[in-house]
Amino acid sequence: MEIRLAADLQPDSIVDGEGIRTVLWTQGCPHACPGCHNPDTHDFNGGALVDVDYIIDELKTIKNQDGITLSGGDPMCQPEACLEIARAAHELGLNVWCYTGFTYEKLILNPKAKKLLEEVDILVDGKFKIEEKSFDLYFRGSRNQRIIDVKKSLEEERVVLVEKYIEDKNYSNKYEKPRYMFI
């Protein structure tokens, strides 16, 4: 099986999910969100076709990673190939995050997407909306996007958000701001 990718695997990311991650940049996205940070991944004919087994072999050689992140483009446009990669990642002891412009509620109705969801640990869903853009959010670009615990959501048959990422990074809502002493 082949997958269309926008770029090689990118190890050591600290911004595409919790921990140190390897990012798989899929090619092809129907959303074309204004302000997207990756517009070169929108064209479904762009990028290059790569054998899924090659990607899995590459994952086996990458060390000191907490997980993989399926990004793009939109990984949900290539659910079968991403499913194989996500399964292999779990077998390697890696967790799986996935970014998509589709909502969880829409994905759960699509049998192929639902199969992929069953192998995803954390889903960041929803289109990027430039009018809701914020640099104070954890692992998402706009406030409408949600960070979903997929396993709990499937189990409880409702969307379950990852609570520790709901608040902004600015800490003003939960924590006292740090004080610094200059000498």
Q: How confident is the model over 159-179, as a mean pLDDT?
A: 68
Higher model confidence: residue 172 or residue 150?
A: 150
Task: Report the CATH superfamily, name and number, of domain 2-165.
Answer: Aldolase class I (3.20.20.70)
Q: Which amino acid would we find at residue 35?
A: G
With a pLDDT cut of 70, the percent of the chain lying above it is: 92
Measured in degrees and rounded to the nearest 5, phi and psi for residue 14 equal -120, 10
* Whether the predicted pLDDT of 176 surpasses 80: no
* Per-chain mean pLDDT for the chain: 91
pLDDT tens column, 97-128: 999 999 999 999 999 999 999 999 999 999 99
Confirm if 106 and 82 have CB atoms less than 8 A apart: no
pLDDT at 182: 42
Higher model confidence: residue 130 or residue 173?
A: 130
pLDDT at 170: 67
Burial 8-38 (b: 16+ CB within 10 A, else e): ebebebeebbbeebbbbbbbbbebebeebeb
Lowest-confidence region among 34-48, 114-128, 151-165: 34-48
Residue with tokens 């086996």: 60
Q: Could you give the CA distance from residue 142 to residue 81 in angstroms, rounded to a whole number?
A: 27
pLDDT at 8: 87
Output the pTM of the full model: 0.90
Q: Could you give the CA distance from residue 31 to residue 146 in angstroms, rounded to a whole number?
A: 17
For the chain, give the number of residues.
183
